[in-house]
Amino acid sequence: MGSVSSRGHRAEAQVVMMGLDSAGKTTLLYRLKGYQLVETLPTVGFNVEPLEEPGHMSLTLWDVGGQSQLRASWKDHLEGTDVLVYVLDSTDEARLPEAVAELREVLDDPSVASVPLLVLANKQEAPQALSLPEIRDRLGLQGFLGRSWDLRACSALTGAGLPEALESLRSLLKSRRPCMAR
């Protein structure tokens, strides 16, 4: 893929979005691109979209399919990743252990050893959504020593929390930039 590089004052970065199927990755991708609600189908393979933020950065967002049969190929998308975004369905408590196991497997890959992590707790508009402190504890995020991470609430449905998620993404990229001399 690539790495954060600078052309003038604009940063370019590769961002990979992963998460279980139906977590809302593709809907989030298109919301971040500025589209209103878009009907999506399960992603088979991946979607790649550029995201230009005037005055800030140029991102290439990789939205990788999350069906169980596709997860074995997740590692193929990790090399050159500047920030990993893990999308979690905050309402799917039954599959939370599976989501945690998949996240840990991804983070164990040597190619993302120093890559910052942004966890997006999607579907926060739903009344049965888990709270951020509960998600943080159940994911064990405090145990990710030596890795920059952030957890943000959002809603792909309403767009709530996406400006804060982008700000967090920018911050995580800045935290990584000093070790980006590749």
Q: Decide: 176 and 84 in contact? Cβ < 8 Å.
A: no
Percentage above 70 pLDDT, the chain: 75
* The model's pTM: 0.83
* CATH number for the domain formed by residue range(s) 5-179: 3.40.50.300
pLDDT digits (tens, 9 = 90+) for 10-48: 458 888 888 898 888 888 888 887 767 666 655 555 667
Of the candidates 36, 67, 69, 128, the residue annotated as catalytic is 67
Segments making up each domain of the chain, as ranges: 5-179
69 as an active site residue: the answer is: no
> Residue 134: which pLDDT band, with cuts at 50, 70 and 90?
very high
pLDDT digits (tens, 9 = 90+) for 88-122: 999 999 999 999 999 998 898 888 888 999 999 99
